[in-house]
Structure 1
């Protein structure tokens, strides 16, 4: 079968701290004299129940990792390594998500924190041959006024290229906060031309998806997998053209589905939804981007043609320029045009290889 690491694709759902390599986390913990929970360094993917207690444990582990990122150098290292890892897996476009609030105390405020990430994204893009853009995200755990502050900050750096802010998100436990109260923040972001990319439809079901669609008017939905539970909600997503950032490993890790086979990937694709596979938080869930495509291939039986369609979907759902999209889509076509190594090869009379399809 064709090498999925060579399949051009876009990565639209990757969190800043969650992108960290385990080795990097260990280095930073030693540097800053932080004692880490064993679950962060034992190389065992996180498996939790989809309960408030399960989320609480996930959040504590995430916070423990985030506590190791304490300087501009640390932040730059994370962006550079995320770009390098994505480039090695065929990603030509990474839209990494960051809430600058957590890193602000170490670098002089939320504005310097955003500027560090943006500059690091520009440098990493040039170094690794990948476009790295940024989604600024607010948290449901904080006051909606904080979200408006972040939306205004994100709007100042709006663009579509490397080292620019392309979207505004809303993350953390979907069961927290009043979705409608975050609407004004998304209005601010939308007026600046930013994509609205809130989380929704992972821990809560289709009713929550419907609420997010109504109150936040998303362009993309982080997760959104549980829209498959209501055909009417899924139909609305398709009609609106809302892309779904589907993260198989984290859905299993957080107990939304017990096994990868339960993920309704086929249902979403068959309904016409625009699906972009993502890794979410590789640090905690133990797998990066290519592994999500491997899951689609081995667990759900996606052919190379169907995997190429997923890659195209990720590119089209990105906020990359028309030129970048065209280049990546051409690369997908070229990948699919290559002979499948698994197909038998015979020799013609002229000793030229002929692939038997």
Structure 2
């Protein structure tokens, strides 16, 4: 893609199309973080769970991860939200509502990321919980028409041997709903290279390798993810824009970046949406897939990422369409689904569902 050729000028009123109707893939969405705010409140009330004001009257919460204290607060809110999932029906509801929300936002394919060990104690172990999620995914896909794959993610604050266990689990389900293996949580903690063994297991199983990197830490950590984890995509990866040589390497290797603009700003990585270096990434020829990360905590879902970047960087519809195409190409969606969705992107750009 040549970014200037797709138009960085201000869109004209006759060509601004509804981004919710733009077919796209969603490649960076966390399981609990995908929960609807209303569902969180309802489940908490049902079981008498006291939620902090930042998840009730002051929602969405004011967050920052500029230091460890800020990340701890973010993680605490996430853990509180996870605690409301008490039954199999709760899990199924979350997955179905998440699928419905993505379809409403133009989603054709979703890769939802989950760490089974975070739910194992309540749901009979990591295997039983993975079975439950995959069954819920199959049901939600049938009911909504959204294609869905699961990314099993290890927690970098836990021991690397736990990650190997999860990688073996993910490998057992490769081709049966699990499409990738990730590494999440505060990238400033632990040694990324220690997780190389887990990623080697996932790589042998043919899974997409999708660790978080290049958000809270800079270009050096991105290099570590490439060199030791053999990343196919980077969760975030946005700070590679700070190093032109690294960015060129990423472009040459075809490593996709799962950029989540609203969460980048909410966590203090960038001061505002205009500072998110999407134009730099696109001008270099990087493959970018916009994602919502954790809508429950950031108050912003998939289509909003396109809308905010359109407004912040004056992107025209041709550029938005190319972003959608890149999300589909970088996904593990079945070929038939990808081809149909790419054709639908072309139709959106050629005809459009009307102006907004």
TM-score (norm 2): 0.93
Decide whether the 8 Å contact of 2:18 with 2:355 is kept in 1: no
Corresponding residue of 1:142: 158
Using CA pairs under 8 Å that are at least 6 residues apart, name the structure with larger relative contact order, 1 or 2.
2
Q: Secondary structure at the match of 2:161?
A: helix
> Partners of 2:62 and 2:255 in 1: how far apart?
29
> Partners of 2:174 and 2:46 in 1: how far apart?
34
1:216-266 Cα shifts (integer Å, max 9, x gaps): 011110000000001111111111110000000110110000101100000
1:168 aligns with 2:184: no
Corresponding residue of 2:53: 38
Q: Secondary structure at the match of 2:140?
A: helix
Misfit runs of 4+, over 6 Å: none
Decide whether the 8 Å contact of 2:21 with 2:353 is kept in 1: no
> Partners of 1:152 and 1:339 in 2: how far apart?
45
Question: How far 1:49 sits from its partner (Å)?
Answer: 4.6
Q: Residue 121 of structure 1 is aligned with which of 137, 140, 145?
A: 137
Gaps of 5+ in 1: 344-357
Cα pair distance change 1:111/1:326, threshold 3 Å: same
Corresponding residue of 2:174: 158
> Partners of 1:228 and 1:294 in 2: how far apart?
21
Give the alignment's Cα RMSD to 1 decimal.
1.2
Q: Secondary structure at the match of 2:73?
A: helix
Corresponding residue of 1:94: 110
1:17 aligns with 2:32: yes
Select between 65-74 and 166-175 the one with higher mean Cα deviation: 65-74
Select between 63-72 and 90-99 the one with higher mean Cα deviation: 63-72
Q: Residue 83 of structure 2 is aligned with which of 67, 70, 76?
A: 67
1:237 aligns with 2:253: no
Q: Residue 42 of structure 2 is aligned with which of 27, 30, 39?
A: 27
Q: Residue 218 of structure 1 is aligned with which of 231, 235, 246?
A: 231
Corresponding residue of 1:184: 197
Q: Residue 120 of structure 2 is aligned with which of 100, 104, 117?
A: 104
Question: How far 1:46 sits from its partner (Å)?
Answer: 3.1
Q: Secondary structure at the match of 2:78?
A: helix
Corresponding residue of 1:349: none
> Partners of 1:61 and 1:22 in 2: how far apart?
13
Q: Residue 304 of structure 2 is aligned with which of 268, 283, 291?
A: 291
Decide whether the 8 Å contact of 1:70 with 1:103 is kept in 2: no
> Partners of 1:210 and 1:15 in 2: how far apart?
24
Question: How far 1:340 sits from its partner (Å)?
Answer: 8.0
Gaps of 5+ in 2: 1-15
Decide whether the 8 Å contact of 2:154 with 2:184 is kept in 1: yes
Question: How far 1:70 sits from its partner (Å)?
Answer: 1.8
> Partners of 2:47 and 2:120 in 1: how far apart?
17
TM-score (norm 1): 0.93
1:324 aligns with 2:337: yes
1:3 aligns with 2:18: yes
> Partners of 2:151 and 2:270 in 1: how far apart?
27
Decide whether the 8 Å contact of 1:46 with 1:284 is kept in 2: no
